[in-house]
Chain A
């Protein structure tokens, strides 16, 4: 019997706005109004400013380790614009500041988190978002579960988007999440920010496949590669994926090809393992530069507007930093507040004595009775 092909596959790539600001009028027709693009450009600029300030805060000891978003802004921007705030859910990794902000998390929460304060993860009521996730890959399963609950509850017109890096696709959790999403046909969008690097490991050592998008083929999931520095392409792909999801078409996969222009985090120095030439080539593809070129061609942007925006962004960012730094250090007792719906007796005792479990078990045994909890430890951050 002859061999026959039982499966054929191809991966499409979408680019609408190239790095010189050239626009594919056919693909991009009616996609975004100039007003929307201006708004997106402003958001990305503010995010970039915040990134720079965050870096400086870390260097001056006012913040802990921080992962810059620099160069990747179009991915979270374009995709988050295509999702519906207050309806859809955003399950982020740690390089999606804009998406979190657009869907309702105040920026100073994000800074507060990286300053080493859990309260930055306290997602305000009404904001459909999980705290950012640093254990690689684990949150994709949560996203799938959230989407599953939407399906089980027959909640119409809702979907979930989850973000992760190229490196994260090596984790077993990624494949588990993809398989469940596809067999259960739940409304979730897997958005891979392929920034070419996982700390010092380049994409081609992380995987042997030439695209990340093709990994979804194994799960029979609609999948596409987009120029992740192209706001329009990212928006278009996400919009289509969301439409498919809410119509019961199940999960989708998007690979947003971009580049991490900064170090992995402030604890890293990428110059030690990657070429300046590679970086330079990607600097020219910066999503901010090309979006600005587009707007200028449209007659919707000029130097004066830029100067004003930069000034405004500075002010906004200063406010964000002030808000984050203005929050009092947490109290020692605070860490018992969210342990259980109701604090069990043993923990209550531990809170009151701030002593180890042995000593706290029965304070009278060891002459501690009547002694109050020690003063709350207050240390500057």
Chain B
């Protein structure tokens, strides 16, 4: 005989996580209602990140930033410049070199209602914290039967920063995106970086926020007014009928470069910046493929079991009959990131390789 399971849980009524206090999920608006991307308030990608963190820290004192070199040094890549001066050492915290240590400690803090932003100098160094970030944070809510969530942001540089060698040039998305329970955001420009990071800090779940050392100096207009960009919504950067090109993070720029050149040959690309890969806005991709009937997916991580592979699998499952050509991936070469300049360049996706892929796909 079985008895009904009626555990007495702590109050889980209005908030998912009892200890969290109020979770202020912002009201999201559609892309067209967001403030304009044009304007002359031109700032760097790193400043956009800083603004997002600073605004959220001013609003909510549960938010803090911890990592190696974030305080005194103003951030290894100057993302947190000036934040120690404003918020003091209790909220901008220089950590000992112990990624697994501070990642795990912050998971505990998040379970108790604080909202840590954990900066990894590089996502490459998050590998020594793998158990905490993959085996603990994304499963906390699940394993506690909904009792304990983990509102934490892990952020840092992802991808080849430029001759940093194979151990320091990880593109972690292919591997980490496989894990259920986490959200993963990879902005390609300052505007999105700010709007997405603000959303990430408000988000009640663990968010993996992947920046790129190569883009931190990129500049664009970022509006003064507050805005939030929801996860799982791709942005159409360029419209065209001949082929769909999708990417996220830095290679979006290579897609745009290739699309520009292809337009000269009369090939019009629909370019989608996915912005987040978990969740992945596959609906928008399918909508585009139904228009163009061809797709190339550009992903700066390794091909095997990559986000590109996943996107293509879903496309094949959902609109196979609409395709006039096999979907094609442009990934990095399947070797560790080379150290030598010429080899690194040959290894990464670039406009040339995208051009070649697109030409091959549209030529039939």
| Residue positions of A touching B, CB distance < 8 A | 64, 113, 116-118, 134-138, 167-168, 170-173, 198-201, 205-207, 272-273, 329-330, 332, 334-336, 339, 346-347, 350, 354-359, 365-368, 377-379, 381
Stretch from B6-14, B107-115, B270-278, B356-364 at the A interface:
B356-364
When the two chains form their complex, are residues B345 and A379 in contact, meaning their CB atoms are under 8 A apart? yes
Residues of B within 8 A of A137 (CB): 97, 128
CB A18 to nearest CB in B, in angstroms, measures 31
Select one of A170, A330, A359 contacting B97, CB under 8 A.
Answer: A170
Closest to B73 in A: A200
Residues of B within 8 A of A354 (CB): 333, 346
CB-defined A-B contacts under 8 Å, sample of 11 = A135-B168, A137-B128, A168-B97, A171-B128, A201-B72, A205-B96, A332-B346, A335-B336, A350-B334, A356-B330, A378-B342
Q: Mark B226-246, 1 if CB is under 8 A from A, else 0.
A: 000000000000000000000
Stretch from B146-154, B188-196, B321-329 at the A interface:
B321-329
Within 8 A of A (CB), among B83-102: 94, 96-101
Select one of A134, A335, A357, A367 contacting B167, CB under 8 A.
Answer: A134
When the two chains form their complex, are residues A381 and B335 in contact, meaning their CB atoms are under 8 A apart? no
Bound state CA distance, A64 and B340, in angstroms? 10
Bound state CA distance, A279 and B28, in angstroms? 53
CB A166 to nearest CB in B, in angstroms, measures 9
When the two chains form their complex, are residues A365 and B326 in contact, meaning their CB atoms are under 8 A apart? yes
Residues of B within 8 A of A347 (CB): 334-335
Residues of A within 8 A of B356 (CB): 355, 359
Listed residue (B125, B127, B340) with the most chain A CB atoms within 10 angstroms of its CB: B340
Within 8 A of A (CB), among B332-349: 333-336, 338-343, 345-347, 349
Bound state CA distance, A135 and B124, in angstroms? 9
Select one of A116, A170, A173, A201 contacting B163, CB under 8 A.
Answer: A116
Q: Mark B140-159, 1 if CB is under 8 A from A, else 0.
A: 00000000000000000000
**Interface footprint category on B:** 35 or more
Select one of B69, B125, B357 contacting A200, CB under 8 A.
Answer: B69
When the two chains form their complex, are residues B128 and A135 in contact, meaning their CB atoms are under 8 A apart? yes
| Residue positions of B touching A, CB distance < 8 A | 68-69, 72-73, 76, 94, 96-101, 124-125, 127-128, 163, 165-168, 303-304, 326-331, 333-336, 338-343, 345-347, 349, 353, 356-357, 360-361, 363-364
Bound state CA distance, A117 and B99, in angstroms? 28
Bound state CA distance, A18 and B330, in angstroms? 61
CB B317 to nearest CB in A, in angstroms, measures 17
Residues of A within 8 A of B343 (CB): 330, 332, 334-335, 377
When the two chains form their complex, are residues A207 and B331 in contact, meaning their CB atoms are under 8 A apart? no
Select one of A198, A330, A358, A367 contacting B329, CB under 8 A.
Answer: A358
Closest to A200 in B: B73
Select one of B94, B166, B330, B364 contacting A201, CB under 8 A.
Answer: B94
Known: A205-B94, A206-B97. A330 touches B72 (CB 8 A): no
Select one of B94, B168, B329 contacting A356, CB under 8 A.
Answer: B329
Bound state CA distance, A173 and B130, in angstroms? 13
Residues of B within 8 A of A113 (CB): 339
CB B348 to nearest CB in A, in angstroms, measures 11
Known: A138-B128, A173-B128. A377 touches B346 (CB 8 A): yes
CB A304 to nearest CB in B, in angstroms, measures 43
CB B42 to nearest CB in A, in angstroms, measures 26
Bound state CA distance, A378 and B336, in angstroms? 19
Known: A136-B97, A332-B346, A358-B303. A367 touches B360 (CB 8 A): yes
When the two chains form their complex, are residues A357 and B68 in contact, meaning their CB atoms are under 8 A apart? no
Bound state CA distance, A359 and B328, in angstroms? 7
Closest to B89 in A: A205
Bound state CA distance, A200 and B330, in angstroms? 40
Residues of A within 8 A of B69 (CB): 199-201
Residues of B within 8 A of A367 (CB): 360, 363-364
When the two chains form their complex, are residues B331 and A357 in contact, meaning their CB atoms are under 8 A apart? yes
Known: A64-B163, A135-B124, A200-B72. A167 touches B340 (CB 8 A): no
When the two chains form their complex, are residues B364 and A356 in contact, meaning their CB atoms are under 8 A apart? no
Known: A134-B168, A199-B73, A330-B342. A357 touches B334 (CB 8 A): yes
Residues of B within 8 A of A335 (CB): 333, 335-336, 338, 343, 347
CB A338 to nearest CB in B, in angstroms, measures 9
When the two chains form their complex, are residues B72 and A377 in contact, meaning their CB atoms are under 8 A apart? no
Bound state CA distance, A172 and B99, in angstroms? 9
Closest to B127 in A: A135
When the two chains form their complex, are residues A356 and B341 in contact, meaning their CB atoms are under 8 A apart? no
Bound state CA distance, A303 and B344, in angstroms? 48
Bound state CA distance, A167 and B121, in angstroms? 15
CB B96 to nearest CB in A, in angstroms, measures 4
When the two chains form their complex, are residues A368 and B96 in contact, meaning their CB atoms are under 8 A apart? no
When the two chains form their complex, are residues B128 and A207 in contact, meaning their CB atoms are under 8 A apart? no
Residues of B within 8 A of A207 (CB): 96
Bound state CA distance, A366 and B359, in angstroms? 10
Bound state CA distance, A358 and B358, in angstroms? 12
Bound state CA distance, A272 and B72, in angstroms? 9
Known: A356-B357, A366-B361. A167 touches B96 (CB 8 A): yes
When the two chains form their complex, are residues A172 and B333 in contact, meaning their CB atoms are under 8 A apart? no
Select one of B339, B360, B364 contacting A359, CB under 8 A.
Answer: B360
CB B18 to nearest CB in A, in angstroms, measures 31
CB A112 to nearest CB in B, in angstroms, measures 10
Residues of B within 8 A of A272 (CB): 73
- Which 7 pairs, one residue from A and one from B, show the smallest C-beta to C-beta distance? A357-B303, A170-B96, A379-B342, A200-B73, A358-B329, A170-B98, A366-B360
Bound state CA distance, A126 and B196, in angstroms? 53
Residues of A within 8 A of B168 (CB): 134-135
Residues of B within 8 A of A357 (CB): 303-304, 329, 331, 334
Bound state CA distance, A381 and B339, in angstroms? 11
When the two chains form their complex, are residues A356 and B97 in contact, meaning their CB atoms are under 8 A apart? no
Bound state CA distance, A7 and B352, in angstroms? 67
Closest to B357 in A: A359
CB A276 to nearest CB in B, in angstroms, measures 17
Known: A172-B100, A200-B72, A201-B72. A116 touches B339 (CB 8 A): yes
When the two chains form their complex, are residues A167 and B342 in contact, meaning their CB atoms are under 8 A apart? no
Listed residue (A136, A137, A366, A367) with the most chain B CB atoms within 10 angstroms of its CB: A366
Residues of A within 8 A of B360 (CB): 359, 366-368
Residues of A within 8 A of B357 (CB): 356, 358-359
Bound state CA distance, A365 and B356, in angstroms? 14
Residues of B within 8 A of A168 (CB): 97
